[in-house]
Amino acid sequence: MSNQALLEVRDLLVSFGGFVAIDHVNLTVQSGEIRCIIGPNGAGKTTLLDAICGKTPATQGSIFFKGLRIDSESEFKRTRMGMGRKFQTPSVYDDLTVYQNIQISVPKGQSMLSAIFNSDDQFNQEILEVAQTTNLVNMLDVQAGTLSHGQKQWLEIAMLLIQHPQLLLLDEPVAGMSLKERDQTVDLIQRISAIQAIVVIEHDMDFVKKLSGNVTVLHQGAILCEGLIEQIQADPRVREVYLGD
């Protein structure tokens, strides 16, 4: 099954008391892929990630992760299977150092993880590597509360990476970042995509362009089109609902 998709969403429907937020969506993400999801406010982007990670139940349809059907599994189980979700607002522990924030993100007593970290040295090394990857290696002793907003976003990614996910779901990770931090985030995402697939929601077209992944456009809960950014930007339907306004 070498060509099995990492994530497969089939005919997904999510309705909130009759309001259809996700309308028969199909989405396939391969290992190593960077997938950007764009669309106007209220298009259903966050709800789609919520349904994938198990925060919101699917009303209809199915979701497969690593070939296993997961749409009835808990959010916790999906995390343990290798999904990492980053929400729109970063949530780090302000009073703890960067190091401690990463350290406490390793769930205790999970056989999978205790196998990965079989000594304190190795554990420490892992934290250093993750901090390196997320541009935080010089900030390890700094209290998280004093980080810039952008650095907090990176710390949250670090807290996910230490759990060795195979799929990262990032909801607007560059919101509130400076231009330089955005570019550094492009590099960060491209670096880690060798190991984990990434689904990223973003509004900033320039950022999406630089990421150069596949792009899915959501509109009113449904997929309007999919392709490379050049194709997306040339699509008159996209211009009408999104880029034009």
Which of 64, 48, 61, 69 minimizes the C-alpha distance to 5?
Answer: 64
Q: How many residues at the interface with ligand ADP, by CB under 6 A? A: 11
Candidate residues 35, 45, 78, 182; the one interacting with ligand ADP per rule CB under 6 A: 45
The verdict on 173 binding ligand ADP (CB under 6 A) reads: no
Q: Give the β-pairing of 60-65 and 7-16.
A: antiparallel
* Measured distance CA(118)–CA(208) in Å, rounded: 38
- Residue 165 interacting with ligand ADP (CB under 6 A): no
Antiparallel, parallel or unpaired: β 60-65 and 68-69? antiparallel
- Answer for which of 14, 27, 39, 46 binds Mg ion (CB under 5 A) is 46
- Binding test (CB under 6 A) with ligand ADP, winner from 6, 8, 47, 242: 47
CB of 97 to ligand ADP, least distance (A): 32
Cα separation of 88 and 42, whole Å? 14
The residue whose two tokens read 């362009």 is 209
Shortest distance in whole angstroms from residue 171 CB to Mg ion:
6
Window 59 to 88, contacts with ligand ADP (CB under 6 A): none
Instruction: Report if residue 19 touches ligand ADP, rule: CB under 6 A.
Output: yes
Residue 205 amino acid letter: M
Cβ-count burial of 91 within 10 angstroms (0-12 exposed, 13-18 middle, 19+ buried)? Answer: exposed
The listed partner (ligand ADP, Mg ion, none) that binds 223, CB under 5 to 8 Å by sort, is none
**How many CA atoms are closer than 13 Å to the CA of 211, on its beta-carbon side?**
32
Residue 5, contacted partner among ligand ADP, Mg ion, none, CB below 5-8 A by kind: none
* Minimal distance, residue 78 CB to ligand ADP, in Å: 18
Task: List the one residue from 16, 122, 124, 149 that touches ligand ADP (CB under 6 A).
Answer: 16
